[in-house]
Amino acid sequence: MNRYMTVGLSMLAGTALGAVAIQTLHAQAKPLAYVVAEITVKDQDGYTKEYVPLITKSIQESGGKFLARGGQTISFQGDPPAKRVVVIQFDGLDKAKAWTGSKDWNDAQAVGNKMATIRSYAVEGVSP
């Protein structure tokens, strides 16, 4: 009988610890952030050869991940987006802000603004 009580209490304690750990992990989880850029390219050759490598490097080094990168877009309501739309995922708004404040991002924008008109913004995703 004593052995069964020990096993039962151990299982109960393990379940309680697991529930606390899961609750703590959920409380710490931040929602993802998405940066959306609408781009009207004026100089395609310069944009592709000079700007894209710089901005891609800065995104990757800041932990960003491309979700959409200039594919076909269609408008359902309101004004249509620019011809090129890019969506980048970050681990949170703080990471997206840090990226836009980085030297690599600023250097890329100095080049990109000569070759394209870029409108970008970030949106916070739904909490997990």
10: helix, strand or coil: helix
Q: Do 44 and 66 share a domain, yes or no?
A: yes
- Residue 104: both structure tokens together: 């690599």
Q: Are 62 and 122 in contact (CB under 8 A)?
A: no
* Element housing 110 (H / E): helix 103-115
49: helix, strand or coil: helix
Q: Do 18 and 67 share a domain, yes or no?
A: no
Whether the model clears a pTM of 0.85, i.e. scores above it, the answer is no
For the stretch 13-39, pLDDT in tens is 666 666 556 665 555 588 999 999 999
Q: Do 51 and 89 share a domain, yes or no?
A: yes
CA 67/CA 34 separation, integer angstroms: 9
CA 98/CA 39 separation, integer angstroms: 21
For the stretch 70-112, pLDDT in tens is 889 999 999 999 999 999 999 999 999 999 999 999 999 999 9
Q: Do 48 and 91 share a domain, yes or no?
A: yes
For the stretch 45-63, pLDDT in tens is 999 999 999 999 999 999 9
User: 3 lies in which domain range?
Assistant: 1-29
Query: Count of domains in the chain?
Result: 2
Q: Do 25 and 48 share a domain, yes or no?
A: no
Q: Do 115 and 82 share a domain, yes or no?
A: yes
CA 109/CA 40 separation, integer angstroms: 14
Q: Are 90 and 99 in contact (CB under 8 A)?
A: yes
